[in-house]
Amino acid sequence: MQQFISFPTIESGLYMFGGHRHTVAGGWHFFEQRHQVFELMTISKGCQLTEIKGGPTIELGPGDAIIIAPETYHTNSNQSAQTPMTYSCLHFDFEDMLVRSRLIGLVANQRIPAGSVLARICTDTLAAIAQLSSNREQVNNFANRVAIEITLLNFLRDVDQEIDRVKDHHRLPYSDKEAKVARDLVVSIENRVNNDDENPSFNFEEICYHLGISSGYGHRIFKKVYGITPLYYINRERYQKAQRLLENSYNSIDEIASLVGAGNISIFSKQFKKWSGVTPSEYRKQTRRKRSVTSKNRTGYFE
């Protein structure tokens, strides 16, 4: 019998917002937009036109789906001037950079045809989340929110497995060399954010210099493979480090600001609130309150 089994560290960074199901009138048109995250859309009635800037106009009918990659300018409209159309959509993001690159390179920004396994995964996911969101009194209950998170995690797992099953990886829009450069950039950024407390105020140009590439080339390859800018990724890693320190350390907020490379506590507080919606001190109070445990004689925190 195996005497020691190591459990993996898990930090999914799962994020979703702006999800809804909507029936729109004939002639409906939504203005051009782009996001830093993925957008999943399915059509249950009518026909939608999704125009990708610099690419084709994609026609989506009942049962079809599309996953729009981050940073993609796009517009959506009802093809019919008279007939209503019903669509469902969800904006989401997650941590795994390898799955992210495969999703962008092999699935995103193209029609996922009705009847395919991928389309069924997409439609079933949004149908399940719509069902879980239908009771307004319970939609924000803890159990319900966990069920929605599990549904989205299952979606990512199922999509990744289906990509493995059916896709020709030689169709990836980047070379093996570009994939390696992008991965080296990710590893270097993660190491600098998490392991270099002596010089946390680094920039992307420094990362590229140490890897022997130009910052312009590094920026272009990073965005090509992962669909987000290096600065966005650096800020996200710093934000997550700040979360961990606020939750688990006794460092002052001023010290945490320094450890994540913020110029001063004011800059740190503004950036943290932009990401989380609350100030660092409010976040610390919330998480400490959740983690506190009281016995008859003492009060403390879970380790």
C-alpha torsion sign, points 6, 234, 71, 36: positive
Q: Extract the residue ranges of the chain whose pLDDT is less than 70.
A: 1-2, 4-12, 167-170, 289-303
Predicted local distance difference test score (pLDDT) of residue 125 = 97
Predicted local distance difference test score (pLDDT) of residue 294 = 41
List pLDDT tens digits, range 56-102.
899 999 999 999 999 899 999 999 999 999 999 999 998 888 899 98
Predicted local distance difference test score (pLDDT) of residue 223 = 92
> Residues 6 or more apart from 207 whose CB is under 8 A from it?
185, 188, 189, 192, 218, 230
Cβ neighbours of 272 (radius 10 Å): 26
**Residue 291 φ/ψ, nearest 5 degrees:** -90, -5
Predicted local distance difference test score (pLDDT) of residue 9 = 62
Predicted local distance difference test score (pLDDT) of residue 301 = 35
Output the CA–CA distances (angstroms, integers) from residue 45 to 60, 64, 67, 185, in the order listed.
Answer: 10, 10, 18, 43
Predicted local distance difference test score (pLDDT) of residue 180 = 93
Predicted local distance difference test score (pLDDT) of residue 14 = 86
Predicted local distance difference test score (pLDDT) of residue 149 = 92
Predicted local distance difference test score (pLDDT) of residue 293 = 40
Predicted local distance difference test score (pLDDT) of residue 276 = 84
Say if residues 286 and 278 touch (Cβ distance below 8 Å): yes
Could you give the CA distance from residue 186 to residue 222 in angstroms, rounded to a whole number? 9
Placement of tokens 């960074």 in the chain: 13
Could you give the CA distance from residue 98 to residue 154 in angstroms, rounded to a whole number? 17
Tokens of 246: 């606020």
List pLDDT tens digits, range 117-127.
999 999 999 99
| Adjacent-strand bridge partners of 158 | none
List pLDDT tens digits, range 156-170.
999 999 988 876 655
Placement of tokens 């719509």 in the chain: 130
Predicted local distance difference test score (pLDDT) of residue 300 = 40
Q: Which domains are seen in the chain, by residue range?
A: 15-171 (2.60.120.280), 176-291 (1.10.10.60)
Say if residues 241 and 251 touch (Cβ distance below 8 Å): no
> Residues 6 or more apart from 258 whose CB is under 8 A from it?
200
Output the CA–CA distances (angstroms, integers) from residue 156 to 36, 92, 239, 246, in the order listed.
Answer: 18, 10, 23, 29
Say if residues 289 and 251 touch (Cβ distance below 8 Å): no
Residue type, 89: C
